[in-house]
Amino acid sequence: MYSTNSSMQGKHILTWLDYSQSEVCQLLAQAQYIKENPYNQSLKGKNLAMIFEKSSTRTRVSFEVGMGHMGGHALYLNTKDIQVGRGETIADTARVLSGYVDAIMFRTTSNERLTELAEHATVPVINGLCDIYHPCQALADVFTILELKGQLCGIKLVYIGDGNNVAHSLMILAAMMGMEVVVSAPEGYEPDEEITAKSKALAEEYNGSVTIEPDPVQAVKDADVVYTDVWTSMGQEEEAEQRLKDFQGYQVNKELLSHAKPDASFLHCLPAHREEEVTAEIIDGPQSAVFQQAENRMHVQKAILQAIIGWR
């Protein structure tokens, strides 16, 4: 029998800073139940609008298929095809869609646009990615680590590379789960200072830790999980050449991973650029759990959808 997290009914999912450890734990438990029991009618008659300003594979397919598994319907809306791409305001779009659907997922270039949509929508808004946060990805990451290691508290998670939206949400959620989080980034690419401070405060509250360590070899020492992301994200293509230079030494390869625990797992949010941020030997090797991680996007997002718009 599926259940819903009543405390989250009708709420936006913009960043995990808005939620408690208890609520996240309920989502993780529900995601596990859903993974074992994927089909139900908990969202029968429910509709999700999915607005995409940025291209997607995992976000689009996982939300769309997940809604179908639960008896609901997902509507794909590319901003090139709807009026918001031709000058209609975000506020008007939010009000109009709220009259048609039960929730809106927005994958956007700007946290400001996401926040504006949420302010004017009368239905829950889910952050499918913005320039500051990627909460759905982080929930899948933590869920995957729980599956791999059997616990979260005390697990050492090391993120190597750009201190971007993925790193931000991962820091927040892992700190909230009592994990030992280390971020290793080149100078100038560290995570946002304010988000780092908030993550450290969460870690202190939940007996975890958050450390910024520029030396990747020191960072991965005794790591349980090593995580990386692309060095050049969508919208940063003009910086690609400079970033390739700046991130030299931050590649996750056999030598770097040798400093982690022998049973350390490798994670990547995908898509990956093999032989840049990670070698093919690692991402396609026995320590990699990237495809388990990708699949888990759907399970955690189904848990989120049940919690905010599901049967009650």
The one catalytic residue in 137, 251, 287, 293 is: 137
The one catalytic residue in 120, 251, 268, 269 is: 269
Inter-residue contact 6 to 312 (CB < 8 Å): yes
In the residue annotation, 107 being an active-site residue is answered as yes
In the residue annotation, 297 being an active-site residue is answered as yes
The residue type of 30 is Q
In the residue annotation, 229 being an active-site residue is answered as yes
The residue type of 215 is D
The one catalytic residue in 12, 60, 107, 168 is: 107
The one catalytic residue in 12, 58, 243, 297 is: 297
In the residue annotation, 263 being an active-site residue is answered as no
Give one DSSP letter per residue of 77-137, joined into a string. EETTTSGGGGT--HHHHHHHHHTT-SEEEEE-S-HHHHHHHHHH-SS-EEEEE-SS--HHH
The helix-helix angle for 21-36 and 135-149 (nearest 10°) equals: 70
| Kind plus residue range of the DSSP H or E element containing 173 | helix 165-176
Q: Report how far residue 174's alpha carbon sits from residue 169's, in angstroms, rounded to the nearest whole number.
A: 8
The one catalytic residue in 58, 60, 120, 134 is: 134
The one catalytic residue in 30, 229, 243, 301 is: 229
Q: Is the peptide bond before 271 cis (omega within 30 degrees of 0)?
A: yes
Give the residue numbers marked as catalytic.
Answer: 107, 134, 137, 229, 269, 297
